[in-house]
Amino acid sequence: MCEVSESLGDEYMSAALSSEQRQFKEATARFFSGVSPTTVVRDYMSGETGFDALVWRRLAEELGLTGIHIPEVYGGAGFGPVELGIACEEMGRTLYTGPFLSSSVMAGYAVLRLGNDDAKARYLPGLASGEIIGALLLDSLDAERAWGRVVKADEMQRLHGDVPIALGVGDASVIFALAESREGLALYRLLDPPSKLVTHERSALDPTRRIYQVRLNAAPAERIGLCHRTASAELFNDFCVALAHEQIGGASALFESTVAYTKMRYQFGRPIGSFQALKHRCADLLLDLELAKSATYEAATVLARGENGVEMASMAKAMASDVYMSVAKAAIQLRGGIGFTWEDDTHLWFKRAKSSEVLFGSPSYHRERMMVYLEDVA
């Protein structure tokens, strides 16, 4: 069973990706396996610096990852959600701790989707090259329907409100925010540097992804775009599909390491992976993982075609969240006592799985979102 499980994932990837995309995936995997081992992840957890600037520059210059989904006219690579998903998946496998999700995905997509022409010309080239590290303030990271309820913009384009959970603020050089204005939900760029904002780092279950609380008290800002309902849904879909890829990558890495452990761990004179009960457990996990992987890749393909991605994005996020948690729990259980120790790395993926489960909405929220959408179009 173990040998079969390790080959099925490769066969699926061969069927889902083109030869160029497979080569890109292999190059990205080699890069992150070299720059983001668990020793580096643990250093990040205990250190004060947010990320390795040299690694960030390398992934931007050597692989072009920071602008992979940004059009070439704005200095990006001109690819789309599928290639971005490949990058996120490999980052998830190694728990890369840099500000890619907050800067390239969240801030990059916000400016690309909502920014006016001038804003795109000013900020996208820097975000694509990695010279600008962005962060996006949202009222809530739990649900798209909550945007615009807390952060408000007055007539002088000053922002008010408390953002309880924000990603990447400690690493950012430019901060954007979605806020409710008299004209509706709008995208703003804060004029004060991040160092002048009232922020503090919050304690979190997952120390590999730092979160902050930001207080906006008449913070001067510049409005750079308006956000209608369709655009906000598209933006949320982009976030969810990128995160789902990261979750699939983490679940895959954890599943593979668990299968390898069952081959190595002996009990009663034989590998524990040879026991029928463990074979069935791993087979069930593999099936769930492949189903979630298929849904996630289909969601990226739907977004790449420019189709309405609400259904597939929410399905991918819900399935990826469920399988990541299932694999993380099984990984600890199948390792026995050592899986509960601080010295074992399994808990790093477990905590990332738990934090990602609720980031951008829980599985139950996304199933509800998907059903509401299907009822509306029926």
- Tell which of 187, 211, 227 closes a domain: 227
pLDDT at 142 over 60: yes
State the chain's maximal CA–CA distance in angstroms.
Answer: 75
Where does the pLDDT of residue 371 fall: very low under 50, low under 70, confident under 90, or very high at 90 and above? very high
Query: What is the overall mean pLDDT for the chain?
Result: 91
Read off the CATH number of the domain in which 357 is found.
Answer: 1.20.140.10
pLDDT at 151 over 80: yes
Domain shared by 68 and 118, yes or no? yes
Where does the pLDDT of residue 184 fall: very low under 50, low under 70, confident under 90, or very high at 90 and above? very high
Q: Where are the beta strands (DSSP E) in the chain?
A: 134-137, 152-153, 158-167, 174-181, 184-190, 198-202, 211-226, 266-267, 270-271
pLDDT at 5 over 60: no
pLDDT score, position 324: 98
Where does the pLDDT of residue 191 fall: very low under 50, low under 70, confident under 90, or very high at 90 and above? very high
- Tell which of 227, 250, 279 closes a domain: 227
Average pLDDT over residues 228-234: 90
Read off the CATH number of the domain in which 15 is found.
Answer: 1.10.540.10
Domain shared by 291 and 319, yes or no? yes
Q: Which pTM was predicted?
A: 0.93
- Residue reference for tokens 């002088």: 156
Domain shared by 35 and 146, yes or no? no
Domain shared by 27 and 61, yes or no? yes
- Tell which of 227, 257, 276 closes a domain: 227
pLDDT score, position 1: 40
By residue range, what is the domain housing residue 62? 2-127
3-state secondary structure of 283: helix
Read off the CATH number of the domain in which 201 is found.
Answer: 2.40.110.10
| Separation between Cα atoms, residue 44 and residue 251, nearest integer Å | 21
3-state secondary structure of 69: coil
Residues belonging to the chain: 378
CB-based contacts of 63: which residues, under 8 Å, 6+ apart?
A: 27, 28, 31, 87
In terms of Cα–Cα distance, which of 133, 75, 78 is closest to 104?
Answer: 133
Per residue in 259-305, pLDDT tens? 998 887 767 777 766 677 788 889 999 999 999 999 999 999 999 99
Domain shared by 371 and 235, yes or no? yes
Task: Output the six-digit token pair for 17.
Answer: 């990706």
Domain shared by 254 and 318, yes or no? yes
Domain shared by 244 and 368, yes or no? yes
Half-sphere exposure at residue 287, Cβ-oriented, CA atoms within 13 angstroms: 7
pLDDT score, position 273: 64
Other beta carbons within 10 Å of 156: 8
Average pLDDT over residues 165-180: 95
pLDDT at 117 over 60: yes
pLDDT at 323 over 90: yes
Structural domain total, the chain = 3
Domain shared by 238 and 350, yes or no? yes
Domain shared by 116 and 204, yes or no? no
Domain shared by 104 and 182, yes or no? no
Where does the pLDDT of residue 29 fall: very low under 50, low under 70, confident under 90, or very high at 90 and above? very high
Domain shared by 238 and 373, yes or no? yes
Per residue in 203-215, pLDDT tens? 888 999 999 999 9
| Separation between Cα atoms, residue 209 and residue 356, nearest integer Å | 10
Domain shared by 202 and 266, yes or no? no
Please give the residue that has the higher pLDDT: either 2 or 238.
238
